[in-house]
A and B are shown apart, each in its own frame.
Chain A
C-alpha cells in the first residue's frame, strides 16, 4: 500500500448546494496512485453528488478539486475525461445489441483511409478489444458478438477496461458490484485489484461494506452529505464501518426499539 505519495486527486472542503438543499458539506478526501479509495454511504448520503462533482457534471459551490496537486475546474464531463478522470456509471454507457468491439471504441473509433474512403478500422478495433479483454481474463473468439451476451460482471469489467485503455489516471466506479451476484461481483473486484496494480487511483463507490472491505485500502464514509472521516484499513473494522454508514446512534436506537417490540408483554 502507498504511504507517502502525493495524492493523484484531492477534494478540499467541497460543498454543493442545490437551492436550500445541502447535498455536500465540507468534504475533503484524496486518492493516491495505486490505491482503492472506497466511498461508503447509505442511499442519499451524497455519494452520487460527490462523484458527479469529481467527473465534471456538477461544479462545487465551495471548495476546490486538485489534480496532481494543481487546482482544476471541470466545466463539463468531457473536460474531466480529457484530464484522465474516467467515470464508469452503473448503466455503463454501452449499447446492448451492438458488438463488443463496436462498444469498446464507440465515440473514439479508429479509422483508416482518407477522404470519402475514410472508414472504421474494424480489424484493428477487434484486435485491440480482444487483446485488452484477454488481459482481464475474458477470452473471446468473436468480439463482434453483442454486449448482451456477456455476463453482468464481464460487462462491468469491459466498461472499466475501456476507461483504462483510453488513458484514465483516476477511475471512478459507481456501484460496480451492487447489481451483481457473488460470483459476478468477484469478477469485478478481481479486476479492480488488477487495475490498482497498474498505478491507477480508484474511487470505488458502494453501499456494500463487504465488497468495500475486500478491495479497499482506505475508506471515506459519507452520511447526510457530511464526511464521517477517512480511515486506513488497519484502523477500522467492518462492523465499525457499517455502523458509521448507518449513522451510529440511529442504529443503536433502532436495535433498542426492536428489542422493546419483540419483548413479550
Chain B
C-alpha cells in the first residue's frame, strides 16, 4: 500500500501491462492450453495429433463441451450451478428423435419443440432456486435425476426403446448443414462454440446485463440494494444453460442420426471443470468466458491427444483430475494477487 501522509498530494499508481495480464482470470487456462499442446506436440506429434484431421478432431470434442461450458461459466459467475445440463442433452435429443421417428414431425418443428422444452426446464430450475432459496447445487441435482428418469421412462413408454436411429429420415433437411455440416475438414459445431463464446464475452464485458451477472454472484444483497434485478438475471442464465444443452443435443442427433437416453452423461461436471480451469470462482462473482473456452480446449486436446499417443483412453479422467487440481491452485494464487491492495 502506498499511502500519502499529506493527503493533498496525489498518488499515481501505475499498473504495468504485464502485471495486469498476470492477474487475468483466464491466465491458467491459456497457459495450460499451451502446455498441453506442447506436450502432445512432442509426444504425439508424429502420430497425427498435428495433422489437419487431428486438429479437427480435438477441436470438435472441445466445441461440443464448450457450447455448454460457455453459458455454464456465465451462470457460475452469477453464483449458481446447473447440474442438469447433461440430462437436458439426453432429454432434448430424445424429444427430437421421438418427434421425427414416432410422430413424423418435420425436423425443424422437432428441434423447436426441444428448444422450447429446454427453456421451460431452465425457467423451472431458476424459479425453483429463487423460490425455495435452496442452493442451486441441490435443486439442479434433483433435476439431473428427475429429468434423466423422465427421459428414460417416457422413451420406453412411447417407443419401447432407449435408443432411436433416424437413418435417412433427416438427411435432406435444410437444418443439416447448420448443425451437422462441415467447412473443410472442420465440424460446424466449432463455429457455434466460438460464436457463442464471442457473444457471451461481449455480454459479460460490454453490456449492463454483464455487469449485473458479476454483481449477482459477487454480492446479491449489495446488488439488490442498488436496484439490480438479481432474480431475473439468474433465471435468464438458467434458461441459457438449458438452451445450450438443447443446441448440443441437436448437433449430436443430426450428426449421429440417432439419439440415446444416456447422452450427455457427466457433461455437467465437465462443463463446471472447464469453467473452473478457466478461472471462474466456484462461489461466483469472478471469472471469464475466454477462460472457459480454453478450459474446454484443454479437455478436447487431452482426450484426443491420449487417443493419438495410443495410451488407453481410460487414463483421460486421471489427467483431467490432476489438471483440475493444478488449475484451481494456480487460479487461487492469481486471484489473491489480483485483489491485493497495491
Which residues of A does B touch, CB under 8 Å?
77-78, 89, 91-98, 102, 105-109, 111, 118-120, 122, 134, 137-142, 145-146, 148-151, 183, 186-187, 190
A122 proximity list for chain B (CB < 8 A): 205-206
Q: Inside 8 A of B341's CB, which chain A residues have their CB?
A: 148-151
Given A109-B211, A139-B10, A98 and B218 contact (CB-CB distance below 8 Å): yes
| Docked complex: B260-315 residues within 8 A CB-CB of A | 281, 285-286
Q: Does B22 contact A (CB under 8 A)?
A: no
Contact A140 B222 (CB under 8 A): no
**Are A97 and B285 closer than 8 Å at their CB atoms?**
yes
Tell me the minimal C-beta distance from B129 to chain A in angstroms. 20
The distance in angstroms between the C-alpha atoms of A94 and B14, with both chains bound, is 23
With A106-B215, A119-B207, A149-B340 already in contact, the answer to whether A141 and B226 are too (CB < 8 A) is no
Instruction: Report whether A106 and B8 are in contact in the complex, using a CB–CB cutoff of 8 Å.
Output: no
C-alpha spacing A108/B227, complex, angstroms: 8
B331-342 vs A: 1/0 string, CB under 8 Å? 000010011111
| Residues from chain A with Cβ under 8 Å of B1 in the complex | 151
B32: interface (CB < 8 Å): no
Q: How far is the CA of A146 from the CA of B222 in the complex (A)?
A: 16
Among B8, B20, B202, B215, which residue has its beta carbon within 8 angstroms of that of A142?
Answer: B20
Q: With an 8 A cutoff between CB atoms, is B12 at the interface?
A: yes
By beta carbon, the residue of chain A nearest B285 is: A97
Q: How far is the CB of A126 from chain B (nearest CB, A)?
A: 13
Closest to A105 in B: B211
Of the residues B8, B218, B342, contact of A96 by C-beta under 8 Å: B218
Which residues of chain B are near A77, meaning CB under 8 Å?
225
Q: List 28 A-B contacts (CB under 8 A).
A: A93-B225, A93-B226, A94-B219, A94-B222, A95-B219, A95-B222, A96-B219, A96-B285, A97-B281, A97-B335, A97-B338, A98-B215, A98-B285, A98-B286, A102-B214, A109-B211, A111-B208, A122-B205, A122-B206, A137-B7, A139-B13, A141-B12, A148-B339, A148-B340, A149-B340, A151-B3, A151-B341, A187-B7
Q: Which residue from chain B places its CB closest to the CB of A92 in the assembled complex?
A: B222
* Docked CA distance A109–B1 (Å): 30
Contact pick for B210, options A120, A134, A137, A187, CB 8 Å: A120
**Chain B stretch 1-51: residues in CB contact (< 8 A) with chain A:** 1, 3, 7-8, 10-15, 20
Counting CB contacts under 8 A, is B228 at the interface?
yes
Cβ contact within 8 Å between A107 and B226? yes
Pick the residue among B8, B13, B205, B286 that contacts A97 (CB under 8 A): B286
Determine how close the nearest CB of chain B comes to the CB of A165; give it in whole angstroms.
Answer: 13
B91-124 Cβ-contact flags toward A at 8 Å (1 or 0): 0000000000000000000000000000000000
- A106-B228 contact, Cβ under 8 Å, with A120-B210, A183-B3, A190-B7: yes
Closest B residue by C-beta to A93: B222
Q: In the complex, which residue of chain B has the Cβ closest to the Cβ of A99? A: B214
Residues of B within 8 A of A95 (CB): 214-215, 218-219, 222-223, 285
A93-B219, A122-B205, A145-B342 known; 4 new pairs, CB 8 Å cut-off, are: A93-B226, A97-B335, A98-B286, A139-B12
> How far is the CB of A47 from the nearest CB of chain B, in Å?
19
On whether the beta carbons of B218 and A107 are closer than 8 Å, the reply is no
Q: Are A108 and B226 in contact (CB under 8 A)?
A: yes
- Give every chain B residue within 8 A of A78 (Cβ-Cβ): 227
In B319-335, which residues have CB < 8 Å from any A CB? 335
Given known A-B contacts A95-B214, A95-B285, A106-B211, A137 and B222 have beta carbons under 8 A apart: no
- How far is B220's CA from A98's CA once the two chains are assembled, in angstroms? 13
**A146 in contact with B338 given A109-B208, A111-B208 (CB within 8 Å):** yes
Q: In the docked arrangement, what's the CA distance between A145 and B226, Å?
A: 21
Closest chain-A Cβ to B148's Cβ sits at a distance in Å of 35
Whole-angstrom CA separation of A250 from B285 in the bound complex: 48
Given contacts A98-B218, A106-B226, A190-B7, contact A141 B285 (CB under 8 A): no
In the complex, what's the smallest C-beta–C-beta distance from A96 to chain B, in angstroms? 7
Complex-state Cα separation, A94 to B221, whole angstroms: 10
Residues of A within 8 A of B15 (CB): 141-142, 145
With both chains docked as a complex, state the minimum distance between the C-beta of A76 and any C-beta of chain B, in angstroms: 11
- How far apart sit A134 and B11, CA to CA, in the bound complex (Å)? 10
A129 CA to B339 CA, complexed, in Å:
19
Which residues of the other chain, A, contact B226 by a CB distance below 8 angstroms?
93, 106-108
**Cβ contacts under 8 Å, B8 to chain A:** 137
Measured CB to CB, the nearest residue on chain A to B9 is A137
Residues of A with C-beta under 8 A to B285: 95-98
In the complex, A95→B230 CA distance in Å? 13
Q: Are B218 and A149 in contact (CB under 8 A)?
A: no
Measured CA separation A119–B207 after assembly (Å): 4
